[in-house]
Amino acid sequence: MKSLKALVMALVMIVSVGVMPAAAQFKFGVRAGMNVNSLHFSKDNAAQTFSASNRAGWTGGLLTEFTVPLVGVGVDLSAMYVHRVTDAHLNNIDKAMKSDYIEIPLNVRYNFSLPVVGNVVAPYLAVGPSVSFLASKKGFMNAYERKAVDWAINFGVGVRFFKHLDLNARYGLGLSNSLVRLTGVDTTSAGIAGKNRYWTITAGWIF
């Protein structure tokens, strides 16, 4: 229910921003793509009986952005549905763990202004925080449980073609422990932190 409320609030914000006058330099769009997720453990002994490796998932959602004229600095806010898949290894048993999130990243962007071809191709850099709300999960033998909220910081690079087609790649560095329980152990009490690390590649269309 909390995840649904967060999604509704984010969608309302994006839609309300997107319908503002064009003179205010706001734009609205959609994006979709793939992600590759893994878990990084804080202790080597955390992975003696349990480990996790990279596997591809998918993502899609809405975005809005604001750019300050002439300066090249802007911000963008997205509401993304993210399906993450992790290959888990427990006591010589392999299984794919699946988790769905509502991710809300907020990025500060610097848009490079290129002479002559600026209206055709415009690269940019982006960085900012991201919060993800767990929407659904498929566990692994009661050995692995995620927390409901996950915080990260994103570092991204992208290219905008003809002011509409947007290609973006970003790396998400998990800041919070995404685990509640691991192989029957309360991870908080044991001091074991399993943090998400993920690459996300998307294509979007800006209206």
What is the domain extent for residue 51?
2-206
The single-letter DSSP state of residue 114 is -
Tokens, residue 114:
């290129």
pLDDT at 67: 86
Which residues have CB under 8 Å from 132's CB, separation 6+?
82, 101, 102, 103, 104, 149, 150, 151, 152
Q: Which residue has the higher pLDDT, 15 or 136?
A: 136
| Distance from C-alpha of 57 to C-alpha of 55, rounded to nearest angstrom | 7
Specify the CATH number for the domain of residue 116. 2.40.160.20
Range in 34-38, 125-129, 135-139, 196-200 the model is least confident about? 135-139
Query: What does pLDDT average to over the chain?
Result: 77
Which pLDDT band, with edges at 50, 70 and 90, does 148 fall under? Answer: confident
CA atoms 46, 83, 108, 9: torsion sign: negative
Distances (CA, A) of 146 to 55, 134, 176: 17, 8, 11
Which amino acid is residue 25, in one-letter code? Answer: Q
Tens of pLDDT, residue by residue over 43-80, are 554 445 555 666 788 999 999 998 887 778 889 999 99
Is pLDDT of 192 > 90?
no
Q: Kindly report which listed range (50-54, 129-133, 146-150) carries the lowest average pLDDT score.
A: 50-54
- What are the pLDDT digits (tens) for 81-105? 999 877 666 556 566 677 889 999 9
Winning range, highest mean pLDDT, from 40-49, 69-78, 141-150, 185-194: 69-78
Q: What is the pLDDT of residue 56?
A: 82
The fraction of the chain above a pLDDT of 90, given in percent, is 39
For residues 46 and 25, which has the higher predicted lDDT (pLDDT)?
25
Per the structure, the count of domains in the chain is 1
pLDDT at 130 over 80: yes
Q: How confident is the model at residue 150 (pLDDT cuts 50, 70, 90)?
A: confident
Predicted local confidence at residue 168, as pLDDT: 96
Residue 68: Cβ-neighbour burial (10 angstroms; 0-12, 13-18, 19+): exposed
Contacts of 205 (CB under 8 A, 6+ apart): 29, 30, 31, 164, 165, 166
How many C-beta atoms lie closer than 10 Å to residue 171's C-beta?
A: 14
Average pLDDT over residues 109-123: 89
Please name the amino acid found at residue 206.
I
